Structure 1
Amino acid sequence: MTYLNCMADLWLFDSLNETEKGDIRKLFHRPEYLKGEYLFNEGEPASSIFLVTQGRVKLLKTSEGGKEIALGYITPNQLFGEEVLFDDSVHSFAAVAVEDTRLCACYKSDFESLLAQNSQLSLKVIKGLGEKIRRITEQFADVAIYDTRSSLSRTLVRLAREHGQETADGMKLNFRLTHDDLGALVGSSRVMITNVMKSLKIAGIVRDDLDHKMVISRWFLNEPFIEEPASPAARSADCDCYQR
């Protein structure tokens, strides 16, 4: 998950100077959503990129049987939907505010108009896109390397660090996840997730709390192979994205 202090810090704009980033910032608008309100539904045309500045958003998908599956949670300083800038697509999932939420958003149409007016800016953006494609190729190679147990372990640690609450022996997720939810997060079947979860509990890596929320053991959180997520800088509120 991408962590940003301002949408102008998106990887796509890394090569831009401050004046050019200022032009990007002028495109932003700041919608607000109440708890339970949908930002968009699955199947709707994708038209915006979003940065959460306050609150929390749940990404979910509906199965053929009508069951909602949680794909993940977006919290402040996290970005989602950036693929819309390069693809005329529809949303493959829905997004709903799980608490009152404020966003910084940019319409695809506004972004395209700016690029059409500035050829040098367009070239810099294309260069940034090429670098991103290279990194994505490397990430696909990583997916091929890790088995389900490793992928699930790494996912649980990241969830704990992003959305966890300190306990005496580890980090407790502040929401419940079913085995179907976990399978969706790591691209595996519910049966496989069930078997892997049994082995993780036997190994003392994961346990269920009294309210059936998972606790990730402290010793495992300190394993060196788990990457720390990028931490937002303390002065993120100074950015225009975070101003009303």
Structure 2
Amino acid sequence: MTENKVNLAFKEQKGRCLIANQNVSQGDILLVSKPYAIVPSITKKNDICANCICISKHQTHPREMLVCRKPCHHVFYCSNKCEQQHWDKFHQYECSFLDKVCALQDHDYVINYTLLFMRMLTQRLHDILDKSSTVSSADVWTMLSHFDEFTEEKKNEFVTVAKILTEYILVKLIPHLIKDNHEFIVSIQSFLPDHTDAKKVEINNSDQWLSQMVHLCLLFNDDTTIEV
């Protein structure tokens, strides 16, 4: 599309809505909304191609779905082409971490949003490497936070997820960005929001975990020094 056929407006009785600014015909495309990141639901992974997110023609025979080349048994594909595309862009980073994510809890909801967060981080790596899609990560940080409304139990759940995702950044993503020691901190900051009103959440009782993360970082480069 070369022009916008709708305008964003606010109506007292409707709230935010889209209003056509010209005559439209049946079949016209008015809006294309591209997600920054997308992953299949963990409960549907056997039926949906992890790359094109289409329901496979083999859905009645899941054993015919193609698996990861490793294989990790967490992603399935409708074709060799999709497997290759997904490996090149995402799965080569995420593959070895999926066991850890899928073992988080018995609740599919927690696993699903953690997988989505991990995909957002992987996409952010491509943004930094100038291999991005047309969707900006800045759109992610404009979403409304409900952090103050969460229970302590929910916040503790988020802490667990945050630790896993931090490890994922340090182990799987940062090594693709740093060429020398001076780039380490800059690389980490690339995965953080740049808004001044972003909330900082303190992770309590994390000395042992933090020590493990520092050790993982030191494995990248024996000369790296991290002050905590």
TM-score normalised by structure 2 residue count: 0.31
CA radius of gyration, larger in = 2
More strand by share: 1
Structure of higher RCO (CA pairs closer than 8 Å, 6+ residues apart): 1
